[in-house]
Amino acid sequence: MMIAAVVLSILSAAAAPRDSAATARLLALLKSADPAVCELAARTVLNQGRFGGDWSDDLPMPMPVPIPMPMPHVSWGSEPRIHIRHGLRFEKSIDPGTLGAYRAVLRDESRCVRNLAARALGNAAAPGTYELFAALLRDPSAGLRETGALGMVELGDARALRPLSDALKDEDPGVRIMAARGLGGLENTAAIEPLVGALRDPSPPVRRTAAWALGEIDNARAIDALTAALNDRDQGVRRMAAWALGEIDNGTAVRPLTTALHDAEAAVRRTAAWALGEIGDASGVMPLAGALHDQDVDVRSTAAWALGEIGNSQAVSPLATALKDTAPEVGRLAAWALGEIQDADAVEPLAAALKSEDEDVRATAAWALGEIESPRALPALQAATDDRSAEVRNVAKWALRQIGDDGDERAVHIRVPRPRVHVKP
């Protein structure tokens, strides 16, 4: 009970509004706290919108996640509304006393405490902060050098390019990881050469972070090095290299990415499929068509999405087969992709998909037929207006109106946002 009370008091202090005295009290509590409790409290402090985004010691890993539904909202008689979510507005003006409280613990023995301070100070970007972090990067202690690099990550000061590049050669892998993160955040092409060198680092997490950073910089000069990294012995490095090539979006990466579609790890194959969709080159169509038969459902669904992004008629036949995939999410994305391609050869397979057991497959097939606008789809769409699902019925009516034979005087308004693969770098 006593331990629980201590934890509760720490987390309550972290969530409470802070002035300089409250910040000092919280930091004093965290110095003696269990590392897990300290990290949880740090997350609470940093996620309140003052210091910029989610707290995480780990490099955010890009993960392609197909969003398969192209028409999540169907309405009668009213125009669709667009909802815009604005990013957080971070508060940069922290009172001098609070800044002083954070500066006082930058060299604390607790990694969590000093890293919390580094993030807070870096995001505040107060005068003299760069010099503080630069001094930490020169410290004999690896832990303090890591804290200095983390502070540079948060600060985003262009002057950090040289010290962070030098830190890529630090003897401690934690410092090298943080340095690579910082260089990715700067997005300066001058960092490409040192980051390319870091792709040969003995530590897999350092190589992964360097690949991520090169994707953030988004420059074709990194393509050869990232292509080589597709053969790295660590699957996380291979996956990150594929993601980075998708971010750079250059056709010269298509061939190595098609090879990566045969990687032993499904996560690498999935990311390679996403990258080919991002690049959008027609030479990726047939390799992606092959990936529609992958044993991993996420690879198949991402391949279907990618074929829709490319929008080439060569994909119609393999996508028509994918409409009957045992996994409904693959069928939904295959139907969406056929609607994007808008080839009349897809009418009959899509009409057959209107009889799928899965409601979303039927609705997406109806939408795709409306996009193609072929009169050959009219009988199947007319039948779909009697579907047991209200959504399918409404989409079928919309599709009939698109073709020009809706049989209904009421206007149908359907919102069709473009499905996309979310990547969280």
The answer to the question of residue 20 being in a domain is yes
Task: Report the share of the chain in percent with pLDDT over 90.
Answer: 67
* Residue 189, phi then psi, degrees to nearest 5: -65, -20
- Which H or E run includes 219? none
The answer to the question of residue 8 being in a domain is yes
Residue 93 pLDDT class (50, 70, 90 cuts): low
- Write out the residue range of the structural domain in which residue 13 sits: 1-51
The answer to the question of residue 2 being in a domain is yes
* Mean per-residue pLDDT of the chain: 84
The answer to the question of residue 165 being in a domain is no
Given a cut of 60, whether residue 134 has pLDDT beyond it is yes
Task: Please tell me the distance from the alpha carbon of residue 292 to that of residue 304, in angstroms, as a whole number.
Answer: 7
Half-sphere exposure of 12 (CA within 13 A, CB side): 6
- Which H or E run includes 30? helix 20-31
The answer to the question of residue 99 being in a domain is no
Q: Which tokens in the block code for residue 256?
A: 């190595």
Q: What is the pLDDT of residue 12?
A: 46
Q: Are 22 and 57 in contact (CB under 8 A)?
A: no
Name the domain count of the chain. 1
The answer to the question of residue 4 being in a domain is yes
Q: What is the pLDDT of residue 30?
A: 81
- Report the largest interatomic distance among the alpha carbons of the chain, rounded to a whole angstrom: 79
Task: Please tell me the distance from the alpha carbon of residue 327 to that of residue 329, in angstroms, as a whole number.
Answer: 6
pTM for this predicted structure? 0.83
Q: What is the pLDDT of residues 213-226, one digit of tens each?
A: 999 999 999 999 99
**Closest-CA residue to 153 (of 191, 200, 196):** 191
Residue with tokens 């040969």: 200
Residue with tokens 């990290």: 39
Q: Are 364 and 335 in contact (CB under 8 A)?
A: yes
Given a cut of 70, whether residue 147 has pLDDT beyond it is yes
The answer to the question of residue 370 being in a domain is no
Q: Are 412 and 403 in contact (CB under 8 A)?
A: no
Average pLDDT rounded to a whole number, residues 75-95:
38
The answer to the question of residue 21 being in a domain is yes
Q: What is the pLDDT of residues 389-401, one digit of tens each?
A: 999 999 999 999 9
Average pLDDT rounded to a whole number, residues 52-76:
40
Given a cut of 50, whether residue 340 has pLDDT beyond it is yes
Task: Report the share of the chain in percent with pLDDT over 70.
Answer: 79
